Amino acid sequence: MVIAIDGPAASGKGTLARRLAVHYGLPHLDTGLLYRAVAMALIDEDRSLADPDAAASAARTLDAGSLDDPRLRDRQMGEAASIVSAVPAVRAALLDWQRRFAGAPGGAVLDGRDIGTVVCPDAPVKLFITASAEERARRRHRELGGRGEAAAYEAVLDDIRRRDARDAGRDAAPLVVAADAVVIDTTALDADSAFRAATDIIDGRR
Ligand code: C5P
């Protein structure tokens, strides 16, 4: 069973994906980490994020071992990831990797922006997790504060809006709701309620 989860930044899709993976005993891939790792490789090598050839080459030589680096979760890395993720050659280089993961015997849970539309278009379960920009900014603001990376709420809201516009507006695999995805709006849902809504949908399909 492949569970494809998409949605905008800080929608709660990562937390939900992790819980679903544990619940159903499936491996989980947070695909945002791949794009963050490409951005981090460029930053570490002092290369420009706006150089598509450098970004593509970083994606082709990505070291899966670097996906544990805590710096990947930094605020600037999400922003940088959304710049390199608009490069078609970067997306192409990461596609096989993601599909191999999804092809694990028994299935997998993947979360990102284009899982249900591009990476796993045949996934039997597709969820699109969303929430208002303000609520997502509140969550991200709290999470950053908890990690000692304090930022003004307004700045976090600006980040979220800029990232939404970039992810939805790009030509390559833009953030859209797959035609056969079920939308869960978590603006007024806590993590437990979102989890219950998701398992109701998934169990109904099995
Ligand atoms: O999900 P996360 O915030 O970690 O993703 C960082 C950035 O990576 C996103 O803003 C998006 O631009 C990009 N991304 C993507 N496709 C995915 C996952 C993430 O383009 N499947």
Mean pLDDT for 76-91 is 95
**Does 15 count as an annotated binding residue?**
yes
How far is the centre of ligand 1, averaged over its atoms, from the C-alpha of 190 (Å)? Answer: 23
From 7, 4, 1, 3, select the one nearest 135 (Cα to Cα).
7
> What digits encode the pLDDT tens for the residues 112-153?
999 999 999 999 999 999 999 999 999 999 999 998 888 999
ipTM topping 0.85: yes
> What digits encode the pLDDT tens for the residues 197-206?
999 999 998 7
**pLDDT attached to residue 162:** 94
Mean pLDDT for 176-185 is 97
- Counting from 1 in the atom list of ligand 1, the atom nearest the Cα of 9 is 3
Regarding pTM above 0.90, the answer is yes
Q: Are 11 and 129 in contact (CB under 8 A)?
A: yes
How far is the centre of ligand 1, averaged over its atoms, from the C-alpha of 80 (Å)? Answer: 10
What is the maximal distance between C-alpha atoms in the chain? 49
> What digits encode the pLDDT tens for the residues 34-47?
999 999 999 999 99
Q: Are 5 and 13 in contact (CB under 8 A)?
A: yes
If you take atom 9 of ligand 1, which residue's CA is the nearest one?
A: 82
Backbone angles phi, psi at 82, to 5 degrees: -70, -20
Tell me, using a 6 A CB cutoff, whether residue 55 lines ligand 1.
no
Q: How confident is the model at residue 75 (pLDDT cuts 50, 70, 90)?
A: confident
Tell me, using a 6 A CB cutoff, whether residue 12 lines ligand 1.
no
Residues present in the chain in total: 206
**Residue 90, Cα to own-chain centre: how many angstroms?**
15
